[in-house]
Amino acid sequence: MTVQAALGGFKILKDVVRISVVSDAEGFPEDLFRRIAQERINLPYLTLVSDGPFCGLNLVVEAGDEERACRLLTEKPGRIFTVASRSAVLSLFPHKRNPEISARLFEAFEQQSLEPDALANSPSTISVVLKQDLIDSASHALFEPFTFSAYQTPEDWKLAQQGKEKLYKEVVASYQEKKPKIYGLEVYEGQHLVQIKLNSAKITHVGASFRGFARLSMHLTFLATGPSHQEGKRILAFSLPASQSEAYGRVIKRIAPQVDFREIPSVSIFSMNGPHFGDRYGIVSELMGSLAKRQVELLALSCTIASISGVVPRHQFELALEAIQEHFEVPSVTRRE
Amino acid sequence: MAEKYILVVDDDPDLVETVAMMLESKGCEVGMAYDGIEAEESIKKRRPDLIILDIMMPRKDGYILCAELKSKPQTREIPIILLTAVGEAVPSTRYSHADGMATEADDYIPKPIDTESLWAAVTNLL
């Protein structure tokens, strides 16, 4: 029997809507995010995965914003694949960039026949988007592979969830900086971005290869899923150290030999977090606009909890950094290999 | 700063991670907790040399935990840095800078925090 891993906790955001959209139109994501910001629609969860000329997005909006968000999407040349009302986001933390935590989560879900609709990492958290009806089963499943010091059982966890929503909204509303301040920017260089196109294969099954990455002591610096332009397919994107590309390639081929995977070499991963970024509209629009202005190619993006993580070609990272520093107050930049 | 054990308590896991990485890079050992009750459990298991404590948290907020720790002889001497919210702009909340200063905390840092200012406050208290 596997020893349970001790984690800090998990959060659940209910009553949200997941929208999947793909487009190859020029200026698609930045135009869309500018409009979303103008409409003051918050995106508590967002992933972007580029697939050649196509850009696939998984957006999560609050239920009350569904109609306006869908209207904006249909006005743009985007193709909406899915609008999943009554969704929820479950966020587990901290993963410490250890692929073992992701692997355990996927295995626990697979045992319960739970398949995430979408997932993404922040520096501390793995966020999974599920149908809201599955949230109880999902939260129960977490207590198999993990322990949480603050609660021993799912019932303890439920008792602990007493929100201060009104107060949070007041505090969030008070953040109106012209130049949003972040706590710091962290950069991982010398990475490869791996994209696995999933057909009928489940994310949870392919995720078993993450246990192999953990055995090789690799750090998982980025993780997100996005819709593919090929209907019915989706893309699992993650980044690992370039220096270990042969080793992780072997792991993927051994565990999931049927999958179609490709590598985008020499990328940089940046992560930045700021106060209540997950609750404030306009933050991602600011970032996308700044990168587009400098013609930085954004290969992938994930926004969840209070963080934004992005993947750009390594040769464009300094340009990306200049863009971010122009639009955000960045007190420090920490570079890691 | 080797050998110093610092407990970081905030319900924003990304902020806990940012602060923990900064402290670890300075040679500190870091414990993490995500609400007041969990922090209390953690302190019972291992006494920290300093606590960085958010105020607005579920279950038990930072004010209550700070007051409890400062009222007990076993924990009274542990330095506490409170992370205050943007209270000046939110008059209806009691989670303001002024309220933070009125507690028995040893220092307070307004959010959004600057990690270098936070480190300066930590070194000042250890």
Q: What is the mean pLDDT of residues B53-82?
A: 90
Give yes or no: residues A104 and A194 share one domain.
no
Give the contacts of A1 (CB within 8 A, at least 6 positions apart): none
Query: Which residues from B are below 8 Å from A8, CB to CB?
Result: 13, 16, 32-34, 38
Top pLDDT among A160 and A117 is at A117
Question: Confidence band (pLDDT; 50, 70, 90) for A25?
Answer: confident
Structure tokens at A213: 């990455």
Whether the pLDDT of residue A220 is over 70: the answer is yes
Residue A164 has pLDDT above 60, yes or no: no
CB contact under 8 A, B15 and A186: no
Average model confidence (pLDDT) for chain A? 87
pLDDT value for B58: 76
Ordered by start, the domain boundaries in chain B are 5-125
Tokens coding A158: 């439920």
Interval B14-34: pLDDT, tens? 899 989 988 998 999 999 999
Same domain, A83 and A212: no
- My answer on whether A136 and A200 are in the same domain is no
Residues 112 through 171 of chain A touching chain B, CB cutoff 8 Å: 122-125, 149-150, 160-164, 167-168, 170-171
Write down the pLDDT at residue B95: 53
Q: Are residues A330 and A272 part of one domain?
A: yes
Please give the tally of structural domains in chain A.
Answer: 2
Residue A327 tokens, joined: 């639009």
Is pLDDT above 50 for A52?
A: yes
Query: Mean pLDDT over residues A102-116, rounded?
Result: 91
Look at residue A257 and tell me if it is in a domain.
yes
Whether residue A244 sits in one domain with residue A102: no
Order of all β-strands in the sheet with B80-84: B29-33, B5-9, B50-54, B80-84, B107-110
pLDDT of residue A266: 95
Q: Is residue A93 part of a domain?
A: yes
Return phi, psi of residue A217, to 5°: 55, 35
DSSP per-residue string spanning A96-154: TT-HHHHHHHHHHHHHTT---SEEEE-SS-EEEEEEGGGHHHHHHHHTTTEEETTBSSH
- Output the pTM of the full model: 0.88
A80: domain range? 5-151
> By 3-state DSSP, what share of chain A in percent is helix, strand and coil, each rounded to 5?
35, 35, 30
In this predicted complex, what is the ipTM? 0.79
Question: Of the ranges A55-59, A84-88, B22-26, B57-61, which one carries the lowest mean pLDDT score?
Answer: B57-61
Tell me, yes or no, whether A133 and A13 share the same domain: yes
Q: What is the CATH number of the domain that holds A103?
A: 3.30.2130.10
Q: Which of A55-64, A67-76, A292-301, B30-39 has the least mean pLDDT?
A: A67-76
Interaxial angle between packed helices B13-25 and B115-125, expressed in degrees from 0 to 180 and rounded to the nearest 10: 60
Nearest to A273 among B18, B92, B111 (CB): B18
Fold of B5-125: Rossmann fold (3.40.50)
At residue A132, the pLDDT reads 94
Domain match, A140 and A20 both: yes
Of A151, A168, A195, the residue at which a domain comes to its end is A151
Number of H helices, E strands in chain A: 11, 15
Where is the domain boundary, A107, A129, A151?
A: A151
User: In angstroms, how far is the first alpha carbon of chain B from the final one?
Assistant: 8
Per-residue pLDDT, averaged over A63-71, amounts to 92
In a domain, A232, yes or no: yes
Is the residue at A176 inside a domain?
no
Q: Is residue A191 part of a domain?
A: yes
Residue A263: inside a domain, yes or no? yes
Q: pLDDT band for A77, please (50, 70, 90 cuts).
A: low
Q: Is A209 found in the same domain as A133?
A: no
A273 near B CB under 8 A = yes
Residue with tokens 């809201």: A132
Please report the pLDDT score of residue B90 as a whole number. Answer: 46
CA angle A148/A94/A155 to nearest 5° reads 30
- Tell me: pLDDT of A144 over 80: yes
Q: Are residues A81 and A188 in the same domain?
A: no
The first and second tokens of residue A331, run together, are: 């007190």
Query: Do A116 and A227 sit in the same domain of this protein?
Result: no
The pLDDT value recorded for residue A281 is: 83
